Structure 1
Amino acid sequence: MSRRTSPARARAGAERGSRQGARPAPEKKAPKGGRNLPAAIAVGLGLLAVVGASLVYRPVAFVALVVVVLCGAVWELSRAFARKDVHIPVVPLVVGTTGILVSSYYSGAEALMVSYLLTVGGVVVWRALEGSGPAAVRDAAAAVFAATYLPFLAAFVMLMLASDQGPSRVALFILLVVASDTGGYVAGVLFGRHPLAPTVSPKKSVEGMAGSFVLAIVVGLVGAHVLGADPWVGAMLGVAVPITATIGDLAESLLKRDLDLKDMGSLLPGHGGILDRLDSLLMTAPFAYLLMAYAVPLS
């Protein structure tokens, strides 16, 4: 007479076999640095090539490129603000952005201030004509912030471009920020242990900041030699730029946190949006312009 297996024993055997046969699929590990590295490198090199070509070809081509990029950043920021029901007037901001950048390049610092004040007045009046109340005040304040954060800070790059050795100064400024970002990323991935600002940007580390200083100082020394300046000028730029670039990055991280955003956009694979690439550059531009103007006299 054959032995019969009880239903309970049969179920236990089936479950045991299922556990032994079904192995969980291996989890895909996210890149330690939080980026799609191949895409980030390809896009970064492409952006540098476009910027470099515009500087070599004609300064006016670089001005046109910056105008297009900044107008795109205004649109991107307006979409981000709209998530919190803040609506900035895009049309006067785009017109003002173009005016600030072009007048700064052709007419200098005085034109920068005049066009900036006209832009601020224009966006406030534009919003006031659409209605009054707390929402109008909030929208106007956000528009003034946008005019200051984007075209006003970027205009210092135009002042650099219009000065003696302008394309070289702008190229050094951009390469210093790139060096700060690259050095910080590599050192952070390889050696990062101690968070720099854990509540704002958990992936930034003290070790990464040290890497930013090292690579930026190297680039600064080479750039100072190209500009015919003393080596201390390059060292000074190499120390100052990582500080301002990191502040700019952290400031945008705070803004994105308030807006409940991971990235400002998705136009640049591996980088995020336009503003995610401009944050360090914008905050650094006034300081780089002033340091170079002091250390390497303008024509």
Structure 2
Amino acid sequence: MTSDPDRSARPAASMPLEAAEGVTGAPPRAKRRGAGRDLPAAILVGLGLGAALLASLFVVPQAFPVLVAVTMVLAVLELTRALAQGGLRVAAMPLLVGVIGMVVSTVVFEVEGLLVSTAVAVCVLIVWRASESMGLTALRDVAGGVFALAWVSFLGCFTLLLFGLDQGPLLVLLAVLGPVGNDVGGYVSGVLFGSHPMAPGISPKKSWEGFAGSLILGTAAVTAVGSFGLGLPWWTGVILGVVLVIVSTCGDLAESLLKRDLGIKDMGHLLPGHGGVLDRVDSVLLAAPTTYVMLEVLLP
């Protein structure tokens, strides 16, 4: 649900990743405008994902935990395959069981259920790997598995915690609109005006002009839903919107750095024009817990 302009123009497979993306310097302005992203497919897929989310939030709310579980299962599978590119052998089965257990526990027992199920999932992961072999490689594999649980499953379950609160569907929508505004505003502004790279060594396509567009659209969207949908003070929406855009940008850059270290272009190829599922939800995974905590701080 977020967009990383770094994903929009992918180098040919025969070219080195660093050379193709221009790591040593900002890509020419003309190259940024000629992004190779399949924009029509990306728009159609984005609209479909948005429709599925809205339907699960407001039409068939019983389906929302299922949607979260399916999304996290797909994201975990993508992440285990990506980590394998870096030499980590992370067992998928205990991770998938952990995802389902954490979703069910969070829905039934809320925060306490999430904490306990996360601890149990980590223990199962350690025992599972230890039953195969021990040593330095096993420790690295366990660390990779714990990272997958913490990043995808634990942070993703905060969408369920938001959903369980009063006006939960609107709170989830609030958490998603920050990354979506960051996505759309950053892409449009970056393509039209981008000339100053934000982090050329990590994501050469990101620009400060794009970040300005992200701040404007993301903050406006969050403030509108917060004020008109939830009745929050306008200043709460502004603060939350700015924080969510910053967090979403950090999520994009963090995943770009991980993919660069692993030597891959996308986490997956399930979503045409977007990449993988994890490429779409990377920012939401940080935005959901940020929204949960920020609302507790701003409106205890």
TM-score (norm 2): 0.86
Deviation at 1:44, TM superposition (A): 0.4
Q: Post-superposition, which runs of at least 4 consecutive aligned residues in structure 1 deviate over 3 A?
A: 29-34, 293-297
Does structure 2 retain, via aligned residues, the 8 Å contact 1:176–1:220? yes
Between the aligned partners of 1:239 and 1:86, the Cα distance in structure 2 is: 36
Does structure 1 retain, via aligned residues, the 8 Å contact 2:188–2:213? yes
Deviation at 1:296, TM superposition (A): 4.3
Work out whether 1:106 is the aligned partner of 2:108: yes
Between the aligned partners of 2:178 and 2:109, the Cα distance in structure 1 is: 26
Deviation at 1:290, TM superposition (A): 1.2
* 1:1-37: CA deviation from partner (whole Å, max 9, x where unpaired): xxxxxxxxxxxxxxxxxxxxxxxxxxxx886345211
Instruction: Tell me which of the two structures has the higher relative contact order, counting C-alpha pairs closer than 8 angstroms and 6 or more residues apart.
Output: 2
Larger C-alpha radius of gyration, 1 or 2?
Answer: 1
Deviation at 1:243, TM superposition (A): 0.5
SS in 2 for 1:88: coil
SS in 1 for 2:204: strand
Aligned with residue 149 of structure 1, among 148, 151, 154: 151
Please say which of residues 38-47 and 83-92 is displaced more in the overlay: 83-92
Number of corresponding residues: 269
Does structure 1 retain, via aligned residues, the 8 Å contact 2:33–2:192? no
Structure 1 segment 38-53 matched on structure 2, within 5 A:
38-53=40-55
Tell me which residue corresponds to 2:133: 131
Change (3 A) 1:30 1:290: closer
Work out whether 1:87 is the aligned partner of 2:106: no
Aligned with residue 122 of structure 1, among 118, 121, 124: 124
Aligned-CA RMSD value: 1.4
Work out whether 1:229 is the aligned partner of 2:232: yes
SS in 1 for 2:157: helix
Please say which of residues 75-84 and 64-73 is displaced more in the overlay: 75-84
Between the aligned partners of 1:216 and 1:169, the Cα distance in structure 2 is: 15
Between the aligned partners of 1:167 and 1:54, the Cα distance in structure 2 is: 9
* 1:209-257: CA deviation from partner (whole Å, max 9, x where unpaired): 0000100121122111210110011101110011100111111011101
Tell me which residue corresponds to 1:72: 74
Q: Which ranges of structure 2 fall in alignment gaps of 5 or more residues?
A: 1-30
* 1:51-103: CA deviation from partner (whole Å, max 9, x where unpaired): 11111123331110110110111111111112233111111111111111221
Structure 1 segment 1-299 matched on structure 2, within 5 A:
32-225=34-227, 226-297=229-300
SS in 1 for 2:131: helix
Does structure 1 retain, via aligned residues, the 8 Å contact 2:219–2:245? no
Change (3 A) 1:146 1:75: same
SS in 2 for 1:108: helix
Query: Counterpart of 1:153 in structure 2: which amino acid?
Result: L
Between the aligned partners of 1:63 and 1:53, the Cα distance in structure 2 is: 12
Query: Counterpart of 1:203 in structure 2: which amino acid?
Result: K
Does structure 1 retain, via aligned residues, the 8 Å contact 2:33–2:191? no
Change (3 A) 1:31 1:42: farther
Between the aligned partners of 2:199 and 2:237, the Cα distance in structure 1 is: 27
* 1:271-291: CA deviation from partner (whole Å, max 9, x where unpaired): 101111011111221111111
Between the aligned partners of 2:257 and 2:45, the Cα distance in structure 1 is: 25
Between the aligned partners of 1:33 and 1:155, the Cα distance in structure 2 is: 34
Please say which of residues 168-177 and 197-206 is displaced more in the overlay: 168-177
Does structure 2 retain, via aligned residues, the 8 Å contact 1:100–1:115? yes
Does structure 1 retain, via aligned residues, the 8 Å contact 2:248–2:286? yes
Between the aligned partners of 2:86 and 2:178, the Cα distance in structure 1 is: 34
Query: Counterpart of 2:248 in structure 1: which amino acid?
Result: A
TM-score (norm 1): 0.87
Between the aligned partners of 1:264 and 1:145, the Cα distance in structure 2 is: 15
Does structure 2 retain, via aligned residues, the 8 Å contact 1:263–1:276? yes
Between the aligned partners of 1:31 and 1:190, the Cα distance in structure 2 is: 7
